[in-house]
Structure 1
Amino acid sequence: MLQAPSLAVRRHPLRPLAAAAVAIAVLAGCAGSPQTPAAAGARTQTPAAAKPQWQRVHLGTGAGYDFPVYANHRLDGDLSRIREVVFVQHGLQRNGDDYYAAGAALLKASGRNPDEVLLVAPNFPGTPDQGKGFDGMPQWSVQGWMSGENAVNAPFAVSSLQVLDDLLALVTDKSRLPGVTRVTVAGHSGGAQIVHRYAVLNHVDERIRARGIDLRYVVANPSSYLYFTPVRPAGPDGKSFAPYDKAVCPDYDKYRYGMHDIVPYARGADGLTLYRRYAARQVTYLAGTEDNDPNHRVLDKACGAEAEGPTRLQRARGYLRYERYLASPGVILRHQAYEVVGVGHDQARMFGSQCGARAVFGMTESANPDGAACRAPQL
């Protein structure tokens, strides 16, 4: 339910901000990556040696819950000048600080007025994060937050997808952000998995857009996608579709790859109904042409993921074909897709590419001459 949450923001110090180039290099927090300590965080106008801070925001209705985010403005301050909101979602390392730092660097490079852009990096606390200051907050299993599962610690039973609902409610509250006309939710790798599933499953998109706010999603190099029916890419070229062999993978169509045993947030959803709704939502897919290693160390190798293709690039191409395969007369796909030429599983180069920087930060190609080139998907 899309309701404006109450706000109780407190600031917490972490260790000093890393150099911008280093922050960009560790942006992704890819699924399967080893954990790293919390590093650089929120924007500050104090000297470089000052400690960056994250904000504890109170979300939800009723008793609600606290949740940590990095942002370039105080979320309990005056946000009346904000015109656009950009979310950048971390991956499995839950390193929202690094995502925030790299996003801030790209925002600066875009030439946009930072007083009019709210940059937010949500940080989902995981069960390994004890002692990192996330006390009294929901915690998720290491991969559960990517799928939309509920927090595992009492008394919280909130889905990570509901958290995104509540964050969107916060930034689209016209009483506090009257000027917001565009919201972008972007993720790479593990972050792209939750962004993609959120774009499919949430129930707030149409209501937000009906209020004159342009809501967009950017999905870059995820390890897997959510299929609406039991078919998967088939044939030697992956250009046909058929049910997958259950002898090879009995559970290939279970959530988070298919519709069976879906998370409580989306319980009762019908696959084709979801597809038709999703087709009308504004989604941009980005796939690196060199993200083509079937043995990549952080590639999802579960059989449900393997049913979608052997590499991230092939899974992306297969899913784009699948969207068109499902389209019936009258269905209009409002999705865009680009392949980023010469780039592998590299979040900084993906979001810094010509199509990536345009999708996330509205950055024109002329303002980004060094960004990697993009092309239409090779389907």
Structure 2
Amino acid sequence: MRKWLLTLLITCASTQAAEQGVKAISSGRLLLSAGEIAVSIGPTPAKIERVLIVVHGRLRNAETYRQSAEHAAEQAGQSANTLVLAPQFLNETDIASHTVPDSVLRWQGNDWMAGGLSTAPFTLSSYAALDEIIARLGDRRQFPDVKQIVIAGHSGGAQVVQRYALLGHPQPALETEGVKVRYVIANPSSYAYFNEQRPVAFSHAKCPNFNRWKYGLAELPAYADGQTPAQLEENYVKRDIVYLLGQQDIDPNHPALDKSCEAKAQGASRLIRGRNYFNYLKRRHSQGLSQQLIEVPGVGHDGDGMFTSPEGQKVLFGQ
């Protein structure tokens, strides 16, 4: 087993959680510059050619998403060369509900979703944590055979992946080594826009935060320091991004749908919001947008259904 995987410190995690806390703490640990991050990691193939990083949503149920991604890999016949891992962005409530070493990173509430800084043991943006994981996977001394890294999320996890794809720091070493990076954004509640245009009319006076991060580029997190909005957009449209939308994810009253005025300005349902955002990008970059929107027929707000669908398998495991 490769050196990097040996940095996993397997511990016994309690499966009992307080009502507000996560149900289970993932047993794996990845050592980062500012502490350890909990992670759920699948079986290690003898030859790792692809790494699928799957990002959980607000429930922080990394194990569930890792299992779903592994199921999709099995169905696609890609288990033999794909390593699946799911980082777990714990918050302070989780730490209070479980016995967790002080070295494990944790965030306040849902700050991790928008790239916020950890509260302990040191400050680290959740996006910087993803940067470190991805950079390590591209290290040829430790992963000589990796050709592709796929970062995927559904629902709340897709919100994280979309914002990370927007703010994520360039990693020229990956390009030098020929490692391709793809972002798969499945059924998020909202997107980050590049200017004040929105597809739905709304009252600016009653929705003053519509263009603040995470819905727009005003008041960006510290992680984005040094990057102008123009640079962010230029980098974003060059990235290999697939918007994967369930054709039945159309309920404007879905209990997990963001119903804030900021989100409603993007459309009534997740399917409509995704179509609106992609059309917005095409209008702004009619000559230079190589990203894809792919719809999954017969599937609503169902992460497992999205990833294991023929369309999901193709974007997660196809070249």
Q: CA deviation at 1:9?
A: 2.1
The equivalent residue for 1:69 is: 39
Secondary structure in 2 matching 1:166: helix
**Are the structure 2 counterparts of residues 179 and 123 from structure 1 closer, same or farther at C-alpha, using a change threshold of 3 Å?**
same
Contact 1:5 1:169 (C-alpha < 8 Å) held by counterparts: no
Q: CA deviation at 1:354?
A: 1.4
**Are the structure 2 counterparts of residues 251 and 97 from structure 1 closer, same or farther at C-alpha, using a change threshold of 3 Å?**
same
Q: Please list the CA deviations of residues 267-310 of structure 1 after superposition, one character each: whole Å capped at 9, or x if unmatched.
A: 34332332222111100101111111111101111221111112
Name the larger-Rg structure: 1
Q: Which one of 143, 146, 149 corresponds to residue 116 of structure 2? A: 149
The equivalent residue for 2:225 is: 267
Ranges of 4+ aligned residues in structure 1 off by more than 6 Å: 4-7
- Give the stretch that moved more between structures: 248-257 or 271-280: 271-280
Q: Which one of 182, 207, 210 corresponds to residue 249 of structure 1? A: 207
Counting only pairs closer than 5 Å after superposition, residues 63-212 of structure 1 correspond to structure 2 as 64-73=34-43, 81-114=47-80, 116-130=81-95, 131-136=97-102, 137-153=104-120, 155-212=121-178
The equivalent residue for 2:297 is: 341
The equivalent residue for 1:8 is: 7
For normalisation by structure 2, the TM-score amounts to: 0.90
- Mapped partners of 1:93, 1:224: distance in 2: 17
- Structure 1 counterpart of 2:93, which letter? P
- Mapped partners of 2:146, 2:50: distance in 1: 5
The equivalent residue for 2:31 is: 58
Secondary structure in 2 matching 1:164: helix
- Mapped partners of 2:111, 2:289: distance in 1: 29
5+ residue gaps, structure 2 = none
**Are the structure 2 counterparts of residues 141 and 325 from structure 1 closer, same or farther at C-alpha, using a change threshold of 3 Å?**
same
Secondary structure in 2 matching 1:13: coil
Q: Please list the CA deviations of residues 48-86 of structure 1 after superposition, one character each: whole Å capped at 9, or x if unmatched.
A: xxxxxx3111112xxx31111111246xxxx87211111
- Give the stretch that moved more between structures: 262-271 or 310-319: 262-271
5+ residue gaps, structure 1 = 17-32, 42-53, 236-243, 364-379
- Mapped partners of 1:344, 1:210: distance in 2: 39
- Mapped partners of 1:188, 1:249: distance in 2: 26
Q: Please list the CA deviations of residues 29-49 of structure 1 after superposition, one character each: whole Å capped at 9, or x if unmatched.
A: xxxx9866228x7xxxxxxxx
Contact 1:186 1:218 (C-alpha < 8 Å) held by counterparts: yes
Secondary structure in 2 matching 1:286: strand
Query: Number of residue pairs matched?
Result: 312
For normalisation by structure 1, the TM-score amounts to: 0.76
- Mapped partners of 1:80, 1:290: distance in 2: 39
Q: Give the helix-richer structure, 1 or 2.
A: 2
- Mapped partners of 1:98, 1:324: distance in 2: 34
- Mapped partners of 2:187, 2:21: distance in 1: 20
Contact 1:84 1:183 (C-alpha < 8 Å) held by counterparts: yes
**Are the structure 2 counterparts of residues 263 and 5 from structure 1 closer, same or farther at C-alpha, using a change threshold of 3 Å?**
farther
- Structure 1 counterpart of 2:92, which letter? T
- Structure 2 counterpart of 1:139, which letter? R
**Are the structure 2 counterparts of residues 206 and 304 from structure 1 closer, same or farther at C-alpha, using a change threshold of 3 Å?**
farther
Contact 1:82 1:180 (C-alpha < 8 Å) held by counterparts: yes
- Structure 2 counterpart of 1:37, which letter? K
Contact 1:223 1:299 (C-alpha < 8 Å) held by counterparts: yes
Q: CA deviation at 1:205?
A: 4.3
